[in-house]
Amino acid sequence: MSNDTNEEGKSATRRTALRGLGLAVGGMALATGPGASAASAASAASAASAAQRRGVATYVLVHGTHSAGAFWVPIARELALRGHRVVMVDQPRHGAEAFVAESYQRQDLAAMAVEPSPLKGLGLDDYEARVTGIVRRAARNGPVVLVGHSLGGVSVSRVADAVPHLLHHICYMAAFCPSRVLPTADACTAAPENANAVSPVELTVGDPDRLGVLRLNFRTGVSGELALLKEMICADYPDADFRRILAGMQTDEPVAAYAGRAVGRAGTWGRVPRTYLRFGKDRTIATALQDRMIAEADAATPGNRFRVHDFPDASHVGPLDPTPVADTLDTLAGRRG
C-alpha cells in the first residue's frame, strides 16, 4: 500500500470509481455517404427498407466494464434464432484485443500492482468511436437497435447523440444513463440512491491514479473476496455459473471511462425511442439509482419517455435464463416511437 501523503484522496477516488463497477466494455462511411455511387446507395436503401418490413434488425450490443463482447453470447444466440443480425462489440483493448497482465497470469499481486497497462489513457471518445463505426456499417442493412449493459450505457448515450439518424431504438440494460445532474458514471455511482450498492474497493490491485486503470484480481482464491464479487455480480447464480462469468472478466478498465461526460442532448439522443431493462436485485447499479436515471431522462424529454421493463429478480448481469431478456429485446426491432 502506498505511503504517499495524498493516499486518503486516492482512496476516495478509488471508492468513487469502484462504486460503479459494472459487468457484463474510426467509423467507415455509409454507402449513402459522400463518394458512394448512386447504385450502391440505392442498393443499401432497398436492403434497409426490406429488413424493416420483415421486422429484422441488427442488434449492436455493448458490454460493461471489465467485460467483453462475449458477455452477450447467450442473449445474442437467442436474438439470432429469432432472425436478427447481432454484433457483440469489443471495446478497445477488450475481448479479442484484451490485455492480460503477465503478473496476473502468475498471480503475483505485488508485480500486478505496478505493471503498466495499455488501457491507460483510453476514454469515452475511444469507446464512442468504436461503437459508432460499427453502427454506421450495420445501418446499411436496416434498422439498428443499440443496447448497452452497465458502463456500456455511457457509450449508448454518446453514440445516440452522435448519430441519432442511424438508430431505430436504444436500450439500457441495468446501465448508466447520465443526466445534466449526474453527467458521468462516477457521478451516478456517487448518488445517494446508490448508497447500498456493493463495492469491491478493498479488492483494488495497485493505485488507480498511477496505473490509469481500475485493476481487479478476478482469479482470487480468497473466500471473502469471492463472496463480495458474487454479491455484486450475480448473487442468485449457482457457484459454477459465477465462476464461468469471472473467467471472462478483464482486470483493467480505464479510469477515464468513468469520468467522461455522457449526457444526451434533447434534440439528438432525446429523439431516439428508448427502453430501460430494470433489474430489481442489482447490487452494482442499485435499483433506486436506475429509477432516478430513468426519471431524469424522462424529465429532459417528456415527449419521448423510457419504456421500462421490470425484471424484479434479476441481479446485475441479468437472469441466468437469457430468454426473457431476449424476448423483450426482440420487440424493439419493430417498435418505433
pLDDT digit string, tens, across residues 115-152: 999 999 999 999 999 999 999 999 999 999 999 999 99
Query: Is pLDDT of 111 > 80?
Result: yes
Strands 85-89 and 58-62, how do they pair?
Answer: parallel
- Of the ranges 35-44, 135-144, 240-249, which one carries the lowest mean pLDDT score? 35-44
The residues with which 284 forms a beta bridge, in sequence order, are none
Whole-number percent of the chain with pLDDT over 70: 83
pLDDT of residue 201: 81
Domains, in order of start, for the chain: 7-334 (3.40.50.1820)
* Alpha carbon separation from 271 to 96, 132, 209, 264, 304 (Å, rounded): 33, 17, 37, 10, 7
Mean pLDDT of 50-68: 83
Q: Which candidate, 187, 190, 163, places its Cα nearest to that of 261?
A: 187
The structure's pTM equals 0.85
Query: Is pLDDT of 19 > 80?
Result: no
Burial class, 329, CB count within 10 angstroms (exposed 0-12 / middle 13-18 / buried 19+): buried
Q: How far, in Å, CA of 296 to CA of 294, rounded?
A: 6
Mean pLDDT of 257-279: 98
In this prediction, residue 336 has a pLDDT band, given cuts at 50, 70 and 90, of low
| End-to-end C-alpha distance for the chain, whole angstroms | 53
- Mapping DSSP onto H, E and C, the string for 251-278 reads CEEEHHHHHCCCCCCCCCHHHCCEEEEE
**Mean pLDDT for the chain?**
87
